[in-house]
Amino acid sequence: MFSNEAWEYMGEYFKFPLRNVLPKPFQKPHPPLWVACSQLDTLAMAGHRGMGALGFQFLSADAAHAWVNSYYNNFVKRQEKLADYQSNANIALVCGFMCAETDEEAMRKADGWTFFQFALRFYIQLGRPVEPGTVNLWEEYLKWKETPKAREQRDGGLVGSPDTLRRKLRKFETSNIDQVILLNQAGKNSHEDICDSLDLFSREVMPEFHDREPEHQEWKQRVLAGEIELEELDTDPYKDRFKASPFAVAAATD
């Protein structure tokens, strides 16, 4: 639908009536395709289909390493594209972000940034529609924020001083993540704090990683060319990104 006049499909399991999309992309080659990966298995599928994977932060460096290997091995060895589009070898992660002079200041300014992930987890784990007006999601979030799991998730984001962010980003770097997308406009963050955070990050943290980007691109090209063969790692131990929370379990059984 993005490249031809129209498209339809009449198969055994589903039927897609003739549809057209306008306007068509003007970019040639076709704009790169990405898959939003709320479930980790989708990340491996994106490699299989030759598409970029856009996901959320991994629970650990070991999980990142295993899933990056799975993605690139699927991309290189088992790629089966769904149509005639340009392959897009990329893994991008969205991470909560706030950079300040100290960890304490960053945590204070980023208070509430985990609401987005809480809400996503809430609806995934509940597994059923919520009747409008029966749940105040913000109040439930404030209760959840006091749990150990909430503190663990808060500490896992890119929130902290320049030294803290450098340390965390180096872990992503060693796992060969391609891109990191900074989720700065979350919770009740002020516009001024967001701008100050980006300014400090661009001056104190970003240059180091930009300087090493050619090394990562060389590694990627060698992987795609088959010169570097990545180990086939078991991803089963790292499939659960959304650990059960006490509220989610209670809400599901009400």
* pLDDT one-digit tens code per residue, 111-123: 888 887 788 788 8
Which has the minimum average pLDDT: 18-27, 88-97, 157-166, 206-215?
A: 18-27
Nearest residue to 94 via CA among 162, 156, 174, 163: 156
Q: Distance between CA atoms of 119 and 101, rounded to whole angstroms?
A: 29
Beta 7-10 vs 15-19: how paired, if at all? antiparallel
The residues, any chain, with a CB within 8 Å of residue 146's CB and separated by 6 or more, are: none
- The CATH number that domain 31-235+245-253 falls under is 3.20.20
- What is the spatial distance between Cα 10 and Cα 15, in angstroms, rounded to a whole number? 4
pLDDT bin (cut points 50, 70, 90) of residue 133 is confident
Per-residue model confidence (pLDDT) at position 103: 95
Residue 249 pLDDT:
33
Q: Report whether pLDDT(25) > 50.
A: yes
With beta carbons less than 8 A apart as the criterion, state whether 172 and 179 touch.
no
pLDDT classification of 47: cutoffs 50, 70, 90: very high
pLDDT of 1 strictly over 80: no
Q: How much is the pTM?
A: 0.76
Above 80 in pLDDT, residue 156? no
Q: Which one is predicted more confidently, 218 or 253? A: 218
Is the confidence at residue 205, as pLDDT, over 80? yes
Q: What is the pLDDT of residues 48-97, one digit of tens each?
A: 999 999 988 776 778 888 999 999 999 999 999 998 888 999 999 988 89
Length of the chain: 254
> What is residue 221's predicted lDDT score, i.e. its pLDDT?
97
Q: What is the pLDDT of residue 172?
A: 86
